[in-house]
Amino acid sequence: MLLLSLSLSHYSSNAADFCVADLEIGFQTPSGFPCKNPSFVTASDFKYSGLVTGGNTTNINKVSIIRAFVQQFPGLNGLGMGAGRLDIEPGGAISAHTHWYASEMIYVVEGTVTAGFVSGVATNTVYLNKLSKGEIMIFPQGLVHFQVNTGTETAVVLATYGSEDPGTQIISPALFGNNLPSLLVEKATNIDEAEVKKLKVLLGGSG
């Protein structure tokens, strides 16, 4: 009986050690993806090389965003953490956005970044910092935040998140990058219709 319970507890502690996502066999649920069969898991499931180089920054924001979330890095499944690499050209910006499932921490690998977040509606207080190479800043879960390259060289930023799938909504495209009628966008934002139409063209929206 003692042996049996020892072997059972040994088994269950192994079973709980990790759950590398099998992205093929099922849907993501609030508790994550189903697990890959542990006997097929290898060291390479816990390594991800996607952040080694930056992506293409030829776009209106002059940025590339490379994610290491559970969809890209299945080993993160259930671990409550994720990462990303941001490359931002001078004058470029990761525009205002939120992550509703996660707080974020950034580490400036190269360059100079001015970053901030805005508190809730009670005060709309802005918390702004100019970050140099090696500095970190945190962004509390759910709050609108942004990062701007205010230096003269390409900024490289490592972002980490308290979720393997932080949930992201980028404010400008959410408001102007779709077919919500311009007049309704004006009502919803207090931005006049002519400006709304201009922003829709810029962000690929219509209406």
Question: Taking a C-beta distance cutoff of 8 angstroms, is the pair 93, 82 a contact?
Answer: no
Q: Which amino acid is at 58?
A: T
* 99 is annotated as contributing to ligand binding: yes
Supply the minimum distance, in Å, between the C-beta of residue 39 and ligand NAG. Answer: 40
- 58 versus 190: smaller Cβ distance to ligand NAG: 58
* 97 is annotated as contributing to ligand binding: yes
Q: What are phi and psi of 116, to 5 degrees?
A: -160, 165
- 66 versus 180: smaller Cβ distance to ligand NAG: 66
Positions touching ligand NAG (CB under 6 A) are 56, 58
Supply the minimum distance, in Å, between the C-beta of residue 68 and ligand NAG. Answer: 21
Supply the minimum distance, in Å, between the C-beta of residue 55 and ligand NAG. Answer: 9
Going by C-beta distance under 8 Å and a sequence separation of 6 or more, which residues neighbour residue 83? 51, 67, 68, 158, 159, 160, 161
- 5 versus 58: smaller Cβ distance to ligand NAG: 58
* 145 is annotated as contributing to ligand binding: yes
Question: Taking a C-beta distance cutoff of 8 angstroms, is the pair 70, 32 a contact?
Answer: yes
CA distance 59 to 50: 20
Q: Which amino acid is at 51?
A: L
- 90 versus 162: smaller Cβ distance to ligand NAG: 90
Residues placed in the known binding site for Mn(2+): 97, 99, 104, 145
